[in-house]
Structure 1
Protein backbone atom coordinates (compact mmCIF):
# COMPACT_ATOMS: atom_id res chain seq x y z
CA UNK A 1 0.00 0.00 0.00
CA UNK A 2 1.33 3.42 -0.90
CA UNK A 3 1.19 6.53 1.22
CA UNK A 4 -1.70 7.69 -0.98
CA UNK A 5 -3.86 4.77 0.12
CA UNK A 6 -4.36 5.15 3.84
CA UNK A 7 -6.28 2.73 6.00
CA UNK A 8 -8.96 4.59 7.93
CA UNK A 9 -9.16 3.40 11.54
CA UNK A 10 -10.98 6.26 13.27
CA UNK A 11 -14.28 7.97 12.67
CA UNK A 12 -14.13 11.53 11.31
CA UNK A 13 -14.62 14.27 13.85
CA UNK A 14 -18.12 15.12 12.65
CA UNK A 15 -20.86 15.08 15.26
CA UNK A 16 -23.55 16.62 13.06
CA UNK A 17 -26.87 15.04 13.96
CA UNK A 18 -29.21 16.71 11.47
CA UNK A 19 -29.16 17.02 7.72
CA UNK A 20 -29.26 20.49 6.25
CA UNK A 21 -31.24 21.00 3.03
CA UNK A 22 -31.98 24.66 3.64
CA UNK A 23 -35.40 26.28 3.37
CA UNK A 24 -36.41 24.51 0.16
CA UNK A 25 -35.03 20.94 0.07
CA UNK A 26 -36.21 20.14 -3.45
CA UNK A 27 -34.08 22.98 -4.81
CA UNK A 28 -30.90 21.27 -3.55
CA UNK A 29 -29.56 19.74 -6.75
CA UNK A 30 -25.80 19.95 -6.34
CA UNK A 31 -23.31 17.09 -6.53
CA UNK A 32 -21.26 18.32 -3.58
CA UNK A 33 -24.23 18.24 -1.21
CA UNK A 34 -23.92 14.47 -0.66
CA UNK A 35 -21.15 15.24 1.83
CA UNK A 36 -23.72 16.87 4.09
CA UNK A 37 -26.34 14.17 3.60
CA UNK A 38 -24.33 11.24 4.97
CA UNK A 39 -24.10 12.45 8.53
CA UNK A 40 -23.03 10.10 11.29
CA UNK A 41 -26.53 9.29 12.53
CA UNK A 42 -27.62 8.24 9.04
CA UNK A 43 -24.49 6.20 8.36
CA UNK A 44 -24.86 4.37 11.67
CA UNK A 45 -28.35 3.26 10.59
CA UNK A 46 -27.46 2.44 6.98
CA UNK A 47 -26.87 -1.25 7.63
CA UNK A 48 -30.40 -1.53 9.04
CA UNK A 49 -31.58 -0.42 5.62
CA UNK A 50 -29.37 -2.87 3.73
CA UNK A 51 -29.61 -5.92 6.05
CA UNK A 52 -26.35 -7.64 5.06
CA UNK A 53 -27.65 -11.20 5.45
CA UNK A 54 -30.83 -10.59 3.45
CA UNK A 55 -28.93 -8.73 0.75
CA UNK A 56 -26.38 -11.54 0.43
CA UNK A 57 -29.22 -14.00 -0.07
CA UNK A 58 -31.06 -11.81 -2.58
CA UNK A 59 -28.17 -11.08 -4.94
CA UNK A 60 -26.36 -14.38 -4.45
CA UNK A 61 -23.06 -14.73 -6.34
CA UNK A 62 -23.98 -12.37 -9.18
CA UNK A 63 -21.07 -9.94 -8.89
CA UNK A 64 -18.57 -12.59 -7.82
CA UNK A 65 -19.54 -14.81 -10.75
CA UNK A 66 -19.38 -11.92 -13.24
CA UNK A 67 -15.88 -11.00 -12.11
CA UNK A 68 -14.57 -14.56 -11.93
CA UNK A 69 -16.00 -15.45 -15.35
CA UNK A 70 -13.92 -12.62 -16.81
CA UNK A 71 -10.78 -13.57 -14.90
CA UNK A 72 -10.71 -10.36 -12.82
CA UNK A 73 -8.69 -10.22 -9.61
CA UNK A 74 -8.09 -6.60 -8.59
CA UNK A 75 -11.27 -4.64 -7.85
CA UNK A 76 -11.78 -0.98 -7.01
CA UNK A 77 -15.04 -0.45 -5.12
CA UNK A 78 -15.56 3.25 -5.78
CA UNK A 79 -18.75 3.58 -3.72
CA UNK A 80 -18.03 1.22 -0.88
CA UNK A 81 -20.60 2.69 1.51
CA UNK A 82 -20.56 0.66 4.72
CA UNK A 83 -18.50 -2.04 3.00
CA UNK A 84 -20.98 -4.76 2.06
CA UNK A 85 -19.65 -5.53 -1.43
CA UNK A 86 -16.03 -4.91 -0.50
CA UNK A 87 -16.34 -7.50 2.26
CA UNK A 88 -18.13 -10.03 0.04
CA UNK A 89 -15.45 -9.71 -2.65
CA UNK A 90 -12.62 -9.84 -0.13
CA UNK A 91 -14.04 -13.05 1.32
CA UNK A 92 -14.26 -14.48 -2.21
CA UNK A 93 -10.52 -13.93 -2.73
CA UNK A 94 -10.42 -10.69 -4.70
CA UNK A 95 -7.83 -7.97 -4.06
CA UNK A 96 -10.11 -5.07 -3.11
CA UNK A 97 -9.50 -1.36 -2.63
CA UNK A 98 -12.47 0.49 -1.14
CA UNK A 99 -13.25 4.13 -1.94
CA UNK A 100 -16.02 6.50 -0.91
CA UNK A 101 -16.56 10.24 -1.08
CA UNK A 102 -18.05 10.21 2.42
CA UNK A 103 -15.47 9.98 5.19
CA UNK A 104 -18.19 8.64 7.49
CA UNK A 105 -18.91 5.78 5.09
CA UNK A 106 -15.22 4.92 4.66
CA UNK A 107 -14.76 4.72 8.41
CA UNK A 108 -17.87 2.57 8.84
CA UNK A 109 -16.75 0.21 6.08
CA UNK A 110 -13.40 -0.25 7.79
CA UNK A 111 -15.16 -0.98 11.11
CA UNK A 112 -17.51 -3.49 9.51
CA UNK A 113 -14.63 -5.36 7.89
CA UNK A 114 -12.61 -5.32 11.11
CA UNK A 115 -15.58 -6.76 13.00
CA UNK A 116 -15.40 -9.68 10.55
CA UNK A 117 -11.64 -10.10 11.03
CA UNK A 118 -10.89 -8.57 7.62
CA UNK A 119 -8.69 -5.63 6.68
CA UNK A 120 -9.92 -3.21 4.03
CA UNK A 121 -7.64 -0.95 2.04
CA UNK A 122 -9.66 2.26 2.17
CA UNK A 123 -9.35 5.59 0.40
CA UNK A 124 -11.44 8.73 0.90
CA UNK A 125 -11.83 10.23 -2.55
CA UNK A 126 -14.22 12.19 -4.75
CA UNK A 127 -14.72 10.30 -8.04
CA UNK A 128 -14.12 13.44 -10.08
CA UNK A 129 -10.48 13.35 -8.94
CA UNK A 130 -10.20 9.61 -8.36
CA UNK A 131 -6.83 9.07 -10.04
CA UNK A 132 -5.28 11.75 -7.87
CA UNK A 133 -5.92 9.59 -4.83
CA UNK A 134 -5.36 6.02 -6.03
CA UNK A 135 -2.30 4.31 -7.47
CA UNK A 136 -2.20 1.71 -10.23
CA UNK A 137 -4.83 0.24 -12.52
CA UNK A 138 -7.50 -2.33 -11.77
CA UNK A 139 -9.13 -5.29 -13.50
CA UNK A 140 -12.57 -4.09 -12.49
CA UNK A 141 -14.38 -1.16 -10.91
CA UNK A 142 -17.71 -1.52 -9.15
CA UNK A 143 -19.99 1.44 -8.42
CA UNK A 144 -23.02 0.01 -6.64
CA UNK A 145 -25.89 1.01 -4.39
CA UNK A 146 -27.42 3.61 -6.74
CA UNK A 147 -24.41 5.78 -5.89
CA UNK A 148 -23.79 7.29 -9.33
CA UNK A 149 -27.07 9.20 -9.05
CA UNK A 150 -25.44 11.56 -6.55
CA UNK A 151 -23.89 13.33 -9.56
CA UNK A 152 -26.27 16.06 -10.69
CA UNK A 153 -24.30 17.73 -13.46
CA UNK A 154 -23.60 16.16 -16.84
CA UNK A 155 -19.98 17.31 -16.61
CA UNK A 156 -19.62 15.57 -13.23
CA UNK A 157 -20.99 12.31 -14.62
CA UNK A 158 -18.71 12.43 -17.65
CA UNK A 159 -15.69 13.30 -15.56
CA UNK A 160 -16.36 10.50 -13.07
CA UNK A 161 -16.79 7.94 -15.84
CA UNK A 162 -13.59 9.17 -17.48
CA UNK A 163 -11.78 8.72 -14.15
CA UNK A 164 -13.16 5.17 -13.88
CA UNK A 165 -12.08 4.46 -17.46
CA UNK A 166 -8.55 5.72 -16.77
CA UNK A 167 -8.24 3.63 -13.59
CA UNK A 168 -9.02 0.40 -15.46
CA UNK A 169 -6.55 -1.86 -17.24
CA UNK A 170 -6.93 -2.08 -21.02
CA UNK A 171 -9.35 -5.01 -20.73
CA UNK A 172 -11.05 -3.84 -17.54
CA UNK A 173 -14.77 -3.70 -16.80
CA UNK A 174 -17.02 -1.30 -14.95
CA UNK A 175 -20.07 -2.61 -13.08
CA UNK A 176 -22.45 0.21 -12.21
CA UNK A 177 -26.00 0.00 -10.90
CA UNK A 178 -28.92 2.38 -10.48
CA UNK A 179 -32.55 2.41 -9.50
CA UNK A 180 -34.95 1.84 -12.37
CA UNK A 181 -35.87 5.51 -12.62
CA UNK A 182 -37.67 4.95 -15.93
CA UNK A 183 -40.25 2.89 -14.05
CA UNK A 184 -40.56 5.40 -11.22
CA UNK A 185 -40.95 8.39 -13.55
CA UNK A 186 -43.18 6.72 -16.14
CA UNK A 187 -45.29 4.35 -14.02
CA UNK A 188 -44.76 5.19 -10.35
CA UNK A 189 -42.86 3.83 -7.38
CA UNK A 190 -43.70 0.28 -6.36
CA UNK A 191 -40.55 -1.33 -4.97
CA UNK A 192 -40.61 -5.02 -4.12
CA UNK A 193 -37.78 -4.49 -1.61
CA UNK A 194 -36.44 -7.86 -2.69
CA UNK A 195 -32.98 -6.62 -3.64
CA UNK A 196 -30.49 -4.11 -2.27
CA UNK A 197 -32.44 -2.40 0.51
CA UNK A 198 -33.68 -5.50 2.28
CA UNK A 199 -34.23 -4.23 5.82
CA UNK A 200 -37.85 -5.09 6.61
CA UNK A 201 -38.21 -2.47 9.36
CA UNK A 202 -37.01 0.49 7.32
CA UNK A 203 -39.07 2.43 4.78
CA UNK A 204 -37.40 3.90 1.69
CA UNK A 205 -39.70 5.84 -0.63
CA UNK A 206 -39.73 8.93 -2.85
CA UNK A 207 -40.65 12.18 -1.13
CA UNK A 208 -40.43 14.08 -4.44
CA UNK A 209 -39.83 13.04 -8.05
CA UNK A 210 -39.32 15.03 -11.21
CA UNK A 211 -37.07 14.72 -14.24
CA UNK A 212 -34.06 16.17 -12.44
CA UNK A 213 -34.60 15.17 -8.81
CA UNK A 214 -35.30 11.96 -6.94
CA UNK A 215 -35.63 12.90 -3.27
CA UNK A 216 -35.88 9.75 -1.15
CA UNK A 217 -37.03 9.57 2.46
CA UNK A 218 -35.69 6.84 4.77
CA UNK A 219 -37.74 6.16 7.90
CA UNK A 220 -36.35 3.99 10.72
CA UNK A 221 -38.12 2.12 13.55
CA UNK A 222 -37.16 4.78 16.12
CA UNK A 223 -39.06 7.37 14.08
CA UNK A 224 -35.98 9.09 12.69
CA UNK A 225 -36.06 10.27 9.08
CA UNK A 226 -33.24 11.01 6.67
CA UNK A 227 -33.23 12.14 3.06
CA UNK A 228 -31.07 11.82 -0.04
CA UNK A 229 -31.35 14.07 -3.10
CA UNK A 230 -30.32 12.25 -6.28
CA UNK A 231 -30.52 12.62 -10.05
CA UNK A 232 -32.96 10.16 -11.73
CA UNK A 233 -30.84 8.53 -14.42
CA UNK A 234 -32.73 6.96 -17.27
CA UNK A 235 -31.39 3.65 -18.59
CA UNK A 236 -30.82 4.68 -22.21
CA UNK A 237 -29.09 7.89 -21.16
CA UNK A 238 -26.75 6.02 -18.80
CA UNK A 239 -25.86 3.39 -21.38
CA UNK A 240 -25.15 6.02 -24.04
CA UNK A 241 -23.04 8.06 -21.64
CA UNK A 242 -20.84 5.09 -20.83
CA UNK A 243 -20.29 4.43 -24.52
CA UNK A 244 -19.56 8.08 -25.26
CA UNK A 245 -16.85 8.09 -22.59
CA UNK A 246 -15.19 5.15 -24.36
CA UNK A 247 -16.61 1.87 -23.08
CA UNK A 248 -17.02 -0.46 -26.05
CA UNK A 249 -19.95 -2.57 -24.94
CA UNK A 250 -22.62 -2.21 -22.24
CA UNK A 251 -24.84 -5.08 -21.11
CA UNK A 252 -27.71 -4.27 -18.75
CA UNK A 253 -29.38 -6.61 -16.29
CA UNK A 254 -32.67 -6.03 -14.47
CA UNK A 255 -32.64 -7.29 -10.87
CA UNK A 256 -29.75 -9.59 -11.92
CA UNK A 257 -31.69 -11.05 -14.86
CA UNK A 258 -30.47 -10.71 -18.44
CA UNK A 259 -34.01 -10.66 -19.84
CA UNK A 260 -36.60 -8.39 -18.23
CA UNK A 261 -39.56 -6.12 -18.88
CA UNK A 262 -38.49 -2.48 -18.92
CA UNK A 263 -40.60 -1.31 -15.97
CA UNK A 264 -40.41 -4.47 -13.86
CA UNK A 265 -36.98 -4.40 -12.10
CA UNK A 266 -36.29 -2.27 -9.06
CA UNK A 267 -32.62 -1.95 -10.03
CA UNK A 268 -30.56 -2.04 -13.21
CA UNK A 269 -26.97 -3.28 -13.39
CA UNK A 270 -24.77 -2.09 -16.28
CA UNK A 271 -21.62 -4.06 -17.13
CA UNK A 272 -19.36 -2.01 -19.39
CA UNK A 273 -16.30 -3.40 -21.17
CA UNK A 274 -13.38 -1.10 -21.82
CA UNK A 275 -12.23 -3.33 -24.71
CA UNK A 276 -14.56 -5.16 -27.03
CA UNK A 277 -13.79 -8.86 -26.84
CA UNK A 278 -15.70 -11.20 -29.10
CA UNK A 279 -17.37 -13.91 -27.06
CA UNK A 280 -16.73 -17.49 -28.11
Structure 2
Protein backbone atom coordinates (compact mmCIF):
# COMPACT_ATOMS: atom_id res chain seq x y z
CA UNK A 1 0.00 0.00 0.00
CA UNK A 2 1.38 3.39 -1.03
CA UNK A 3 1.73 6.46 1.13
CA UNK A 4 -1.02 9.00 0.49
CA UNK A 5 1.40 11.50 -1.06
CA UNK A 6 3.07 9.17 -3.55
CA UNK A 7 2.29 9.17 -7.28
CA UNK A 8 -1.41 9.15 -8.02
CA UNK A 9 -2.45 10.45 -4.61
CA UNK A 10 -6.22 10.96 -4.40
CA UNK A 11 -5.52 14.53 -3.29
CA UNK A 12 -4.57 15.32 -6.88
CA UNK A 13 -8.15 14.68 -8.01
CA UNK A 14 -10.12 15.06 -4.78
CA UNK A 15 -13.73 16.00 -5.65
CA UNK A 16 -14.07 18.35 -2.66
CA UNK A 17 -10.95 20.44 -3.35
CA UNK A 18 -12.54 22.64 -6.00
CA UNK A 19 -11.22 25.87 -7.50
CA UNK A 20 -14.14 27.76 -5.95
CA UNK A 21 -13.35 26.41 -2.49
CA UNK A 22 -9.72 27.46 -2.90
CA UNK A 23 -10.71 30.98 -4.00
CA UNK A 24 -13.00 31.37 -0.98
CA UNK A 25 -10.29 30.18 1.40
CA UNK A 26 -7.74 32.59 -0.05
CA UNK A 27 -10.28 35.44 0.03
CA UNK A 28 -10.62 34.85 3.76
CA UNK A 29 -6.89 34.53 4.43
CA UNK A 30 -6.00 37.68 2.48
CA UNK A 31 -8.38 39.66 4.69
CA UNK A 32 -7.65 37.88 7.98
CA UNK A 33 -3.85 38.04 7.96
CA UNK A 34 -4.03 40.57 6.15
CA UNK A 35 -1.84 40.27 3.04
CA UNK A 36 -0.72 43.43 1.30
CA UNK A 37 -0.09 43.41 -2.49
CA UNK A 38 3.17 41.74 -3.40
CA UNK A 39 3.61 40.03 -0.04
CA UNK A 40 6.17 37.23 0.28
CA UNK A 41 4.32 34.12 1.46
CA UNK A 42 5.60 30.70 2.59
CA UNK A 43 3.14 27.84 2.04
CA UNK A 44 4.19 25.00 4.38
CA UNK A 45 3.01 21.59 3.20
CA UNK A 46 1.81 23.12 -0.07
CA UNK A 47 0.64 19.80 -1.55
CA UNK A 48 -0.28 20.21 -5.20
CA UNK A 49 -0.16 23.98 -4.81
CA UNK A 50 -3.80 24.99 -4.87
CA UNK A 51 -3.33 27.81 -2.33
CA UNK A 52 0.11 28.83 -3.64
CA UNK A 53 -1.15 29.13 -7.21
CA UNK A 54 -4.18 31.16 -6.17
CA UNK A 55 -1.99 33.54 -4.15
CA UNK A 56 0.37 33.94 -7.11
CA UNK A 57 -2.64 34.68 -9.30
CA UNK A 58 -3.24 37.65 -6.97
CA UNK A 59 0.33 38.92 -7.45
CA UNK A 60 1.86 37.61 -4.24
CA UNK A 61 5.35 36.09 -4.25
CA UNK A 62 4.98 32.52 -3.03
CA UNK A 63 7.32 29.72 -2.03
CA UNK A 64 5.58 26.38 -1.58
CA UNK A 65 7.44 23.61 0.24
CA UNK A 66 6.47 19.97 0.63
CA UNK A 67 8.47 16.79 1.34
CA UNK A 68 6.60 14.75 -1.31
CA UNK A 69 8.14 14.71 -4.79
CA UNK A 70 4.82 13.81 -6.43
CA UNK A 71 3.11 16.80 -4.85
CA UNK A 72 5.84 19.20 -5.96
CA UNK A 73 5.68 17.85 -9.51
CA UNK A 74 1.92 18.35 -9.54
CA UNK A 75 2.24 21.85 -8.04
CA UNK A 76 4.74 22.91 -10.69
CA UNK A 77 2.51 21.54 -13.43
CA UNK A 78 -0.52 23.37 -12.02
CA UNK A 79 1.40 26.65 -11.89
CA UNK A 80 2.65 26.17 -15.44
CA UNK A 81 -0.85 25.44 -16.73
CA UNK A 82 -2.07 28.62 -15.00
CA UNK A 83 0.74 30.62 -16.61
CA UNK A 84 2.11 31.65 -13.21
CA UNK A 85 5.62 31.83 -11.78
CA UNK A 86 5.57 30.02 -8.43
CA UNK A 87 8.62 28.65 -6.64
CA UNK A 88 8.04 25.10 -5.36
CA UNK A 89 10.72 23.16 -3.48
CA UNK A 90 10.77 19.58 -2.24
CA UNK A 91 11.84 19.96 1.38
CA UNK A 92 10.42 19.13 4.80
CA UNK A 93 9.47 22.20 6.80
CA UNK A 94 11.55 21.04 9.77
CA UNK A 95 14.68 21.24 7.63
CA UNK A 96 13.96 24.49 5.80
CA UNK A 97 16.08 27.61 6.36
CA UNK A 98 15.02 30.67 4.31
CA UNK A 99 17.50 32.97 2.65
CA UNK A 100 15.32 35.96 3.58
CA UNK A 101 12.27 36.30 5.83
CA UNK A 102 8.67 36.14 4.70
CA UNK A 103 5.80 38.53 5.32
CA UNK A 104 3.43 35.65 6.03
CA UNK A 105 3.26 31.86 6.22
CA UNK A 106 0.47 29.32 5.83
CA UNK A 107 0.06 25.80 7.22
CA UNK A 108 -3.33 24.46 6.16
CA UNK A 109 -5.53 21.36 6.02
CA UNK A 110 -3.97 18.49 8.04
CA UNK A 111 -0.33 19.49 7.44
CA UNK A 112 0.33 19.90 11.17
CA UNK A 113 0.05 16.44 12.67
CA UNK A 114 0.56 14.35 9.55
CA UNK A 115 2.38 11.11 10.29
CA UNK A 116 5.28 11.57 9.79
CA UNK A 117 5.98 13.83 11.61
CA UNK A 118 5.00 11.51 14.42
CA UNK A 119 5.73 13.36 17.64
CA UNK A 120 4.95 16.60 19.41
CA UNK A 121 8.65 17.47 19.06
CA UNK A 122 8.30 17.24 15.27
CA UNK A 123 5.23 19.46 15.30
CA UNK A 124 7.00 22.00 17.51
CA UNK A 125 9.97 21.92 15.12
CA UNK A 126 7.65 22.68 12.20
CA UNK A 127 6.19 25.68 14.01
CA UNK A 128 9.65 26.84 15.07
CA UNK A 129 10.64 26.78 11.38
CA UNK A 130 7.64 28.99 10.65
CA UNK A 131 8.69 31.40 13.40
CA UNK A 132 12.26 31.58 12.08
CA UNK A 133 10.99 32.11 8.51
CA UNK A 134 8.92 35.18 9.35
CA UNK A 135 10.09 38.76 9.54
CA UNK A 136 9.38 40.59 12.81
CA UNK A 137 5.64 41.22 12.90
CA UNK A 138 5.05 38.64 10.17
CA UNK A 139 1.74 36.76 10.18
CA UNK A 140 0.97 33.06 10.25
CA UNK A 141 -2.27 31.23 9.45
CA UNK A 142 -2.69 27.72 10.85
CA UNK A 143 -5.79 25.73 9.89
CA UNK A 144 -6.59 22.20 11.02
CA UNK A 145 -9.49 20.04 12.24
CA UNK A 146 -10.67 20.34 15.85
CA UNK A 147 -10.46 16.99 17.60
CA UNK A 148 -13.91 16.76 19.21
CA UNK A 149 -16.08 17.81 16.26
CA UNK A 150 -13.83 15.93 13.83
CA UNK A 151 -14.38 12.71 15.76
CA UNK A 152 -18.12 13.35 15.99
CA UNK A 153 -18.25 13.69 12.20
CA UNK A 154 -15.81 10.87 11.43
CA UNK A 155 -17.43 8.34 9.11
CA UNK A 156 -16.12 4.76 9.19
CA UNK A 157 -16.41 4.66 5.41
CA UNK A 158 -17.10 6.89 2.40
CA UNK A 159 -17.42 6.61 -1.35
CA UNK A 160 -16.85 9.38 -3.91
CA UNK A 161 -17.24 9.36 -7.68
CA UNK A 162 -19.22 7.38 -10.25
CA UNK A 163 -19.49 3.82 -11.46
CA UNK A 164 -16.19 3.44 -13.29
CA UNK A 165 -14.01 6.00 -11.48
CA UNK A 166 -14.41 6.31 -7.72
CA UNK A 167 -12.68 6.38 -4.34
CA UNK A 168 -13.59 4.27 -1.32
CA UNK A 169 -12.31 5.33 2.11
CA UNK A 170 -12.12 3.36 5.36
CA UNK A 171 -11.33 5.30 8.56
CA UNK A 172 -10.30 4.41 12.10
CA UNK A 173 -9.19 6.35 15.19
CA UNK A 174 -6.69 5.35 17.86
CA UNK A 175 -7.79 7.03 21.09
CA UNK A 176 -4.44 6.39 22.77
CA UNK A 177 -2.35 8.17 20.15
CA UNK A 178 -4.98 10.57 18.78
CA UNK A 179 -4.22 9.38 15.25
CA UNK A 180 -6.75 8.92 12.44
CA UNK A 181 -5.89 6.35 9.76
CA UNK A 182 -7.60 6.52 6.37
CA UNK A 183 -7.30 3.70 3.82
CA UNK A 184 -8.09 4.71 0.22
CA UNK A 185 -9.05 2.39 -2.63
CA UNK A 186 -8.97 4.37 -5.89
CA UNK A 187 -10.45 2.95 -9.08
CA UNK A 188 -9.94 4.65 -12.46
CA UNK A 189 -9.69 3.60 -16.11
CA UNK A 190 -5.95 3.19 -15.46
CA UNK A 191 -6.56 0.56 -12.79
CA UNK A 192 -6.92 0.34 -9.00
CA UNK A 193 -4.57 1.73 -6.35
CA UNK A 194 -4.48 1.68 -2.55
CA UNK A 195 -3.15 4.42 -0.27
CA UNK A 196 -3.02 5.24 3.41
CA UNK A 197 -3.03 8.55 5.29
CA UNK A 198 -2.35 9.04 9.00
CA UNK A 199 -2.71 12.28 10.91
CA UNK A 200 -3.01 13.42 14.50
CA UNK A 201 -6.02 15.34 15.78
CA UNK A 202 -5.52 18.26 18.17
CA UNK A 203 -7.71 20.05 20.69
CA UNK A 204 -7.75 23.83 20.84
CA UNK A 205 -5.57 23.73 23.97
CA UNK A 206 -3.08 21.43 22.25
CA UNK A 207 -2.61 23.98 19.47
CA UNK A 208 -2.39 26.93 21.84
CA UNK A 209 0.42 25.15 23.67
CA UNK A 210 2.31 24.30 20.48
CA UNK A 211 2.07 27.86 19.15
CA UNK A 212 3.21 29.33 22.47
CA UNK A 213 6.18 26.96 22.59
CA UNK A 214 7.23 28.19 19.13
CA UNK A 215 6.97 31.85 20.18
CA UNK A 216 3.96 32.62 17.99
CA UNK A 217 1.33 34.98 19.41
CA UNK A 218 -2.30 34.19 18.63
CA UNK A 219 -4.12 37.30 17.40
CA UNK A 220 -7.44 35.71 16.45
CA UNK A 221 -9.05 32.25 16.41
CA UNK A 222 -11.72 31.58 13.78
CA UNK A 223 -14.38 28.97 13.08
CA UNK A 224 -12.46 27.71 10.07
CA UNK A 225 -12.76 29.99 7.05
CA UNK A 226 -15.62 31.93 8.65
CA UNK A 227 -15.59 35.28 10.47
CA UNK A 228 -17.21 33.72 13.55
CA UNK A 229 -15.04 33.10 16.60
CA UNK A 230 -13.68 29.61 17.18
CA UNK A 231 -15.93 27.57 19.48
CA UNK A 232 -16.00 24.06 20.86
CA UNK A 233 -18.37 23.09 18.03
CA UNK A 234 -16.16 24.37 15.20
CA UNK A 235 -15.18 21.51 12.85
CA UNK A 236 -12.06 23.43 11.78
CA UNK A 237 -9.78 25.78 13.70
CA UNK A 238 -8.02 28.70 12.02
CA UNK A 239 -5.47 30.62 14.08
CA UNK A 240 -4.00 33.91 12.90
CA UNK A 241 -0.70 34.53 14.68
CA UNK A 242 2.14 37.03 14.71
CA UNK A 243 5.86 36.77 15.31
TM-score (norm 1): 0.72
Structure 2 equivalent of residue 135 of structure 1: 99
Q: Aligned match of 1:108 in 74, 79, 104?
A: 74
Q: CA deviation at 1:264?
A: 4.0
Q: Deviations over 1:10-46 (max 9, x none)?
A: xxxxxxxx41xxxxxxxxxxxxxxxx4421021xx32
Q: CA deviation at 1:224?
A: 4.1
Alignment of 1:208 onto 2:173: yes
> Is the CA contact (8 Å cut-off) linking 2:105 and 2:141 kept in structure 1?
yes
SS in 1 for 2:8: helix
Q: Which has the higher helix share?
A: 1
> Is the CA contact (8 Å cut-off) linking 1:48 and 1:202 kept in structure 2?
no
Q: CA–CA distance in 2 between the matches of 1:232 and 1:253?
A: 17
Q: CA deviation at 1:54?
A: 4.2
Q: Deviations over 1:186-224 (max 9, x none)?
A: x35269x9xxxx989655562334242111233445464
Q: CA–CA distance in 2 between the matches of 1:83 and 1:240?
A: 29
Q: How does 1:94-243 map to 2 (within 5 A)?
A: 94-131=60-97, 134-150=98-114, 151-185=117-151, 187-189=152-154, 202=167, 206-212=171-177, 213-220=179-186, 222=188, 224-243=193-212
> Is the CA contact (8 Å cut-off) linking 2:221 and 2:230 kept in structure 1?
no
Q: CA–CA distance in 2 between the matches of 1:63 and 1:237?
A: 22
Structure 1 equivalent of residue 12 of structure 2: 47
Alignment of 1:244 onto 2:209: no
Q: CA–CA distance in 2 between the matches of 1:177 and 1:130?
A: 20
Q: CA deviation at 1:251?
A: 2.2
Q: Relative to 1, partners in 2 of residues 1:253 and 1:202: Cα closer, same or farther, differing over 3 Å?
A: farther
Gaps of 5+ in 1: 1-17, 20-35, 275-280
Q: CA–CA distance in 2 between the matches of 1:104 and 1:273?
A: 32
